Structure 1
Amino acid sequence: MNNNKAFTCYFCNRLIENETEMGHTTLCSKVLIPCPYKCGAYVERANLVRHKNECTNNNSNNCKSLDRRMPPTRSDLVNLSRRFQELEVKKEDSLEDIKKSLKEHALSIQKFNNFNGYLAEWKKKVDAQLKTLVTSETNGNQFIYIQEKLLQLQNLHLELSKLKENTYKDSNYFKNTQTDFARNLEEIRGTFNKQNAAFEGMWREQTGLTQKAIEDVRTIKESLDEQKAKYAGLIFDLRSVSQISSEAAEKIEILEREFNLMKQDVNQLKINMEILEDLACNDNTPYQRLIWKITDVESKLKRTRENDIVLKSPIFYTHRFGYKIRILLYINGLKKWKNRYALACIHVLKGEYDALLTWPCTIEGTITLRDLVDKTQAKCFSKFIKTKRSCGEEEEDEPQESSFTYIFIPHTVLFKSNFLKDDTCFLDVCINVNALIWLLRGWFYLY
């Protein structure tokens, strides 16, 4: 059951049924609330926000942006100079007008004084005539007329006195005005002189800065022109040097190629001479089997890496009156096997008995890397090798892993301690004679 009693709100005059009086008063939009800035006003709750923005005691409404003065530009200085010139012209015009009006006023005063003197003389003459008339006591009507004229003349004299007094007052006022104007004019002149001096100082400063900037720009332009000329000369020299260097590089490259070829030929010649020396020591040319002693393996490997030379074995024959052959050893490998494998192949040479032999020929054999440590239980490294050639001195094909034309000896095997001793190794080459005999018999039967 709801215990709230219905009541009429004092502020909004509405009938409230489901709220308490205290709760409705805290939310009613018509309730009067004193100004939080203490201006003395009571504002309805709905209009409190607008009153805060309009309240005079709100300091945030009275804030003014600071006048950030920028240094005067050239156009501002020109406008200020033009205004000063116009003010000077107006001052001179106003001074001329004042002088002219003063002259006219002085002439008017002088004329008035002359007229006053004439009037005084005329009055004396009239008084003298009146005296003569009074003494004569003739013509009474004329005397009355003259009295009326005198009254008019006195009235005129009074008016002239008032006019003189007014003129004097106007003259004093005009003098005071002239004095104030002169004072104001002097103040304006002093202010103008100060502003003009400040303007001249600013103008001289700006002119000096402008001249300095012009000189700096001129200096920079001259330096840029000089740098441009130097840069153009440098580019020309660089192009010349580049052309000369490219020509020299081409010549050097050609000489390097020739030198490398010559060096390779010299190294190959040295190897061949060593082979010839070995052959000179052995007059009998072996056949079917060759034991090739390779000395200075490390130095030869180093020379091969530098010059791509090939080691050639002594010449021997497959059998008596057979094919003339030798073993070619690429100790550093070829192409993708470089620095990892030693490659060996059989090279068929032109021999003395080639006319009696069968061509093309197929030569088979084994190449064994001899074990130099254990003689009883030798663990030699052997490879089967085979070659097929149409004639002697035919170049070998590119080595293939699936072909028996080349054998591959890994460097890890070649440089083992049991295969390499005192920087020397031995290759035992043995040719399979039975295969050659069967081949020769086959050709014989065919014939």
Structure 2
Amino acid sequence: MSLNRIIANGVGASGNKKNPNESPCYFCNELFEMGQLQNHLKQCGSILEQCPLRCGAWIQRKHKDTHVRECPQMEKARNSTSPSHASMPAPAPPVPPASVHTWSPRSVPLEDCVSYLEKEVANIKLVITEESSHRDIQSTEMETIRSKLVLVEERTQHFLSTLVSLRAAVDDEASRSANWAAQFKHDLANVQIALQVIMIDCCAKEDVIQYLKQTVEEERERNAENRAALETELLEARRSSEQLAQLSALRSQLQNSGPDRPSIDRLAVLEVATADARAEAAEHAAKMDIVSRDLRALTKSYHKLRTELADFQAKISFNHHEMGSDDGHFIWRIENYTARMKDARENDTVLSSPIFRTHKYGYTLKAELNLNGIGKWKGRHITCTVRLVGGPYDPLLEWPCDLNINIVLKDQPANRKQAMDIVKSLQLRRKSSSKRHDYDHADEEAKTKSNEALDKSVLQMKRQYIFIPHASLEKFDYIKNDVMFLEFLANQ
């Protein structure tokens, strides 16, 4: 068999391979992966080997033990060690069975030897090819590993640069955080200072309110003293008028009496006394005019102080106010009715509600309630009113304003459908936002009256009240659990 034929057979056999990475064994034709064929050749049972007894035969590895038992050299060794020395004819060499693959150099032709050598050369070439392919694979893997190492180095450099940038960013963030912390501490200190200023301002405002209240009380006391002095002057004037009347009557009696000299002297004396009484009466009248002017000035000053105090309290309430509602609908819950009624009877206490607005940016209103009534209704009625107070959005509103306020005293029965609410209404008007109260400008004619008459005229002319009799409160559950509810509905 020629070398080309063996190569052709090898190529034909390799054409049946299913996997390009597998190669057949040239002795047993089994398929093995590249790298395992060399290990298989060391153990393949179809490879021919020379007889270990040197009989000159070539036997497959898997039949080596069988050949050794039947080898002629083994028979010779047995005969040489036997005890008999009789010459025996040499036995004929056994004919190997057809199933035993033996080869003898005497009977093997030269072509078979050449084919065997060609097969061995092809096997060696195959091993060399496998080794070269394995080295190529290893070199390829080495190149891949080198490229991976280069990539790893690049990524390492990138990671190091990123780490450096991250460290710089962390340092910047730390410095920025330190700056923010310092700024926060500074702002916190400023806020604390501002809070202290606000607290001082609140204390100052409370002091101002206390001062205004004290001033109003002093004005009241001064007005009371002036009233007492005026009443004293009036009593003296009345006595002077009575004395003058008595003197006039005595003069008329003397004129009707006889023309005696003593009567004339008495008449002269009476005329002098009458002149003195008239002069004293004129002096008292002048003093009364002065006291009346002072009283009017004090009354005006008193109302002005009361107005300023109300404005200041309203201003304070806007900064620290209790907001009722901002949709024109407000329900005022009045607790401890019994104690408040007792306080109103003893001290004429006026209850003020939280402020509420007609809408979110509308007119600002405030309700006032006298549980014991005022004026001629005192002790018999509950009086309630609603007044406009200065609001933060007054410059944006329309003036003059005209509001219709519905005031509802809520009944509190167990079944709400059976409620008998008391509904009252009043008109609230104001010309401009600069007029804080409706009682600031009284008529000039009312200024000449006494304080009581002035207060009555102001209440009747400038402020409108609703009146609810005390007897009506006992008919239904208007007062329940010592609580009363007043509902206010503002309509423009």
**TM-score interval for Structure 1 and Structure 2 normalised by the shorter chain:** 0.3 to 0.5
**TM-score if structure 2 supplies the norm length?**
0.30
Which has the bigger relative contact order, CA under 8 A and spacing at least 6?
A: 2
Q: If the length of structure 1 is used for normalisation, what is the TM-score?
A: 0.33
